[in-house]
Chain A
Amino acid sequence: GQSLEQPSEVTAVEGAIVQINCTYQTSGFYGLSWYQQHDGGAPTFLSYNALDGLEETGRFSSFLSRSDSYGYLLLQELQMKDSASYFCAVGNDYKLSFGAGTTVTVRA
């Protein structure tokens, strides 16, 4: 099976940088994905790492190290609208195993 661990909560102020770590145990997967979900709404895709290294998408960056079974999502220049739950996920294209989620609270 696959298990993923990520912190349950993170709090930061506007403009700050937050890093959400994700460690996983899996027998094989295509890549590491990150999703954002506001208040139980639709999860929205943020980033995907198929290969080791850093992927940058605007204020968000994601990193993967397969040798360390580790990845992270970096949120820069935090805004109030970034307050949400963030999930890491591994799997194949359509079958994903998700972490329990990290609730990010941004304070003014």
Chain B
Amino acid sequence: KAGVTQTPRYLIKTRGQQVTLSCSPISGHRSVSWYQQTPGQGLQFLFEYFSETQRNKGNFPGRFSGRQFSNSRSEMNVSTLELGDSALYLCASYDGTGDGELFFGEGSRLTVL
């Protein structure tokens, strides 16, 4: 079974631009969550989608948004990029079994110049 796939793996943007990141969860997993990882703040929850609905959102400004499609693939968008948005953005899929296991992708490493 294929794992969680995130694209692109690396990208460089400049301040003020916007970026869209994509995540394909494991087949059959309907929950997709997004995390931001930085050296200073660690792993922080951004939001989670299930069956195209956002169920929960973390403490991030409105510049961070996401969506999920009917095939469970998810995208997140960051508008008006700031230097502090430079981070590894991780996507995780969950099978709903309650066993506590999230399956993470390799992440998209965003650098904002």
Question: Distance (Å) between the CB of B63 and the closest chain A CB?
Answer: 20
Q: Is the CB of A98 within 8 A of B43?
A: yes
Q: Is the CB of B42 within 8 A of A43?
A: no
Please indicate which of the listed interface residues B31, B42, B56 has the most CB atoms of chain A within 10 Å of its own CB: B42
Q: Give the size range of A's interface with the partner.
A: 20 to 34
The one of B37, B56, B103 that contacts A95, using a Cβ cutoff of 8 Å? B56
Chain B residue at minimum C-beta to C-beta distance from A1: B59
Q: Is the CB of B92 within 8 A of A30?
A: no
Q: Is the CB of B100 within 8 A of A93?
A: yes
Q: Is the CB of B92 within 8 A of A99?
A: no
Chain B residue at minimum C-beta to C-beta distance from A34: B100
Does B52 sit at the interface, judged by CB under 8 A?
no
Does A7 sit at the interface, judged by CB under 8 A?
no
Number of interface residues of B (CB under 8 A): 30
Q: Mark B54-75, 1 if CB is under 8 A from A, else 0.
A: 0110100000000000000000
Q: Is the CB of B42 within 8 A of A99?
A: yes
Q: Is the CB of A93 within 8 A of B106?
A: no
Chain A residue at minimum C-beta to C-beta distance from B92: A94
Does A96 sit at the interface, judged by CB under 8 A?
yes
Using a CB–CB cutoff of 8 Å, the interface residues on chain B facing chain A are 3-4, 31, 33, 37, 42-45, 48, 50, 55-56, 58, 88, 90, 92, 94, 96, 98-107, 109
